[in-house]
Amino acid sequence: MSGHRREGLVYNFKQLDPVVNPLDAKKATPENQYWKAYEFPTIVQEFGPVSHIDIRPFAPHNIIVSAASRIQVYSNDTNERIKTYSRFHDTVYGASYRSDGHLIIAGCEDAQLRLFDNDGRIPLRIFKGHAGPVHVSRFCNDKQHIFSASDDKTVRVWDVATERSVVRFAEHNDYIRTGAICKSTSDIIATGSYDHTVKMYDVRTKSSVLSVDHGMPVESILIHPSGSIVFSAGGSSIKVWDVLQGGKLLTTFKNHHKTITCLTFNHDYSRILSGSLDRNVKIYNTASYEVVHSMTYPGPILSVAVANEDKTLAVGMADKILSLRKRKTRDLDEAAEQFISDQVTKRNTRHVPGKDYAPNDDDIVIYHIQRQSLPEYERYFRKFEYSKALDAAFPRKKKLLEPEVQVAVLKELIRRDGLEVALAGRRGPKLRRIIGFLSMNLVKSSFAPTILTVANALIDIYYPEIMEHTRGVQQDFIRLNKKVKNELRLHEVLYSVMGCIDAIFAMHAKANSKTSIQHGLEMTHR
């Protein structure tokens, strides 16, 4: 059952696994177990369709997401958003890392490419020359050039240092929406177009060296690291082309029933993952091209990325949802065994009335693992009783929980998409306690994002029936509404100040750069 979409994090209930018949247990292959060994996903509500995902090739393996008019960066450890690049005036496409993970390149609907580093939010370079939206942007293997493809039907290679286009190809007859770099050489690139063709180019000859007809608009392509095989996806089929035999079609496989939108390799290139508008991710063996596993998601899939030795799996959907999953570090049985082993290692002593007794080496000791005592709201969370969990976090008694705990409960309700359920149907004191807490803690910066989300939800639920509540509740809502507006106005002012500060730092950095260059020239002349 999928959750309702809201700004921030949301939570989807995990679908029940089918009951396995013992007679069919042999069908559970190691391949299935490998791809099922991911934790329950973190679901993020983005600001637009998640058109592209890339994962930093080196630790900390941050995840960058292209959605709407911004690039979001998420921590691979916590799945929390750690940075946003929003210096775009239109939709962003194809944000990707350089192979060393230090730079990011992204195309845009405004026909420009922008280059960023990991530290700043202001573009280091802006590449201008395309006449249409730039959907493809990748770093070449030499790290000094960038490859781009656009709806203007052209392919360009740019020099990073000078921002100039050094190579231009204009052989496609329709929009170009996908491209790939050959990892075995710095000179071979490939593109797929809505004119149904896949073309390979050698930047040294400045012309295409291979062209094949997929038969459908091409949405995604991959080049095997050896450079001898190209995979193209268009419509509901994936085709495999032999480059060494002049583009001979080796095989075609169709396992999706809607358009395939994205392809990616796993960490050792032994598997291909495909995502489709039919809401499925399918995994193929690159030796036999057979489906070895399949995963279903709540929305039409636009992008897939897997990295960090398959420990991280990210999927972007057309309905603005981003799914982040990490591989389980160990199974529950292993965790239980480790816990018991730790208990034995500690050699805890037990107290016997009259004397202290420690077990000898040859004693057989049976340890009793006591059940963990959970707070009341945690017990309700385990039962999915969200309204009672919220009541437990905001009790009627004078002795209240710490604000940090109460905000944590609200964040968990947002993550589980249970906030509206928990807030609905409240009257009198129950409602006023929550409104009072929100008004009191809204100004705390660490609480503000969560409290603003809860306040908006509360106003959405109770505004239509506000006149049915007591005068005290009405006045509480008026005060809360004023505080929310003031806080939002303050955030707008702060963002304006941050923009001014960024501009000052950029000018300062540019001045320092000129000074450094002048100093270098003087030292050279000496």
Domains and CATH numbers, the chain: 31-325 (2.130.10.10), 376-489 (no CATH)
Query: What does the alpha-carbon distance between residue 283 and residue 281 come to, in Å, rounded to a whole number?
Result: 7
Q: What pLDDT sits at residue 96?
A: 92
Instruction: Give the model's pLDDT for residue 7.
Output: 39
Tokens (6 digits) for 75: 């921590």
Q: What are the structure tokens assigned to 76, written together? A: 């691979």
Mean pLDDT of 337-346: 47
Coil/strand/helix, residue 318:
coil
Calculate what percentage of the chain has a pLDDT beyond 90: 31
Comparing 437 with 324, the larger pLDDT belongs to 324
433, 441 Cβ separation under 8 angstroms: no
Question: Does the pLDDT value for residue 190 go beyond 90?
Answer: yes
| 105, 96 contact by CB (below 8 A) | yes
* Torsion-angle region of 255 (φ positive above 0: left; ψ -120 to 50: alpha; else: beta): alpha
Residue 191 has pLDDT above 60, yes or no: yes
Q: If we measure between CA atoms, which residue out of 306, 317, 313 comes closest to residue 276?
A: 317
* HSE value, Cβ hemisphere, 13 Å, CA-based, for 253: 16
Burial of 158 (0-12, 13-18, 19+ CB in 10 A): buried
Please give the radius of gyration of the chain, using alpha carbons only, rounded to the nearest integer: 28
Instruction: Please give the Cα distance from 402 to 406 (Å, whole number).
Output: 6
Are the C-beta atoms of 114 and 70 separated by less than 8 Å? no
Whole-model pTM over 0.85: no
Could you tell me the pLDDT band of residue 227, with boundaries at 50, 70 and 90? Answer: confident
Calculate mean pLDDT across residues 150-177: 91
- CA-CA distance, 67 to 91, in Å (whole number)? 7
Give mean pLDDT, residues 348-354.
45
Cα 92–chain centre separation: 15
Q: What pLDDT is attached to residue 404?
A: 82
Average confidence (pLDDT) over 168-197: 91
**pLDDT score of 186:** 80
Per DSSP, what are the bridge partners of residue 319?
Answer: none
pLDDT of residue 262: 94
The CA angle 125-261-182, to the nearest 5 degrees, is 55
Query: Percent of the chain, pLDDT > 70?
Result: 81
Mean pLDDT of the region 496-509? 74
Q: What is the pLDDT of residue 344?
A: 47
Considering only residues 257 and 12, tell me which one the structure prediction assigns the higher pLDDT: 257
Q: What's the pLDDT tens digit per position in 511-523?
A: 665 555 455 545 5
Asked if 6 contacts 47 with a C-beta cutoff of 8 angstroms, the reply is: no
Per-residue confidence (pLDDT) for residue 367, from 0 to 100? 56
**pLDDT at residue 434 in the model:** 84
Q: Which of 53-62, 227-236, 383-392 is predicted most confidently? A: 227-236
Mean pLDDT of the region 154-160: 92
Q: Which residue has the tokens 């609907």?
A: 109
Convert the pLDDT of each residue in 491-501 to its tens digit.
777 777 877 88
Residue of 391, 396, 446 lying closest to 413 (CA atoms)? 391
The pLDDT assigned to 332 comes to 42
Asked whether 137 and 94 are in contact (CB, 8 A), the reply is: yes
Q: What mean pLDDT comes out for the span 354-381?
A: 64
Tokens of 74: 């998420």
Strand 125-128 versus strand 81-85 pairing type: unpaired
- Cβ of 355: how many Cβ atoms within 10 Å? 6
Residue 211, pLDDT above cutoff 60: yes
Model confidence at 355: pLDDT above 70:
no
Provide the b/e sequence for 242-270 (b: ≥16 CB within 10 Å): ebeeebeeeeebebbeebbbbbbbbeeee
Closest CA to 502 of 162, 116, 82: 116
Please report which residue ranges of 280-418 form alpha helices under DSSP H. 332-346, 376-382, 386-393, 403-415
Closest CA relative to residue 209, chosen from 171, 261, 173 = 171
| DSSP per-residue string spanning 159-179 | ETTTTEEEEEE---SS-EEEE
Q: Is the pLDDT of residue 356 over 60?
A: no
Count CB atoms within 10 A of the CB of residue 425: 10
Confidence at residue 16, expressed as pLDDT on a 0 to 100 scale: 29
Helix 386-393 / helix 403-415 crossing angle, nearest 10 deg: 170
pLDDT given at position 371: 59
pLDDT per position as a tens digit, 112-141: 999 998 877 788 999 999 999 999 999 998
List 266's β-bridge partners, or say none.
none
User: What are the beta bridge partners of residue 114?
Assistant: 106, 126
pLDDT beyond 60 at 23 = no
* CA quadruple 248, 254, 255, 258: dihedral sign: positive
Closest CA relative to residue 2, chosen from 320, 296, 322, 298? 298
**Phi, psi dihedrals of residue 43, rounded to the nearest 5°:** -105, 125
pLDDT for 335 equals: 42
List of long-range contacts for 193-200, beta carbons under 8 Å, 24+ apart: 193/153, 193/217, 193/218, 194/218, 196/234, 197/172, 198/230, 198/232, 198/241, 199/169, 199/171, 199/172, 200/230, 200/243
Average pLDDT of the chain to the nearest whole number: 80
pLDDT at position 230 is 94
Give yes or no for residue 106 having a pLDDT over 80: yes
Confidence of residue 400 (pLDDT cuts 50, 70, 90): low
Highest mean pLDDT among 20-24, 294-298, 436-440, 477-481: 294-298
pLDDT of 459 higher than 70: yes
Query: What was the pLDDT predicted at 172?
Result: 92
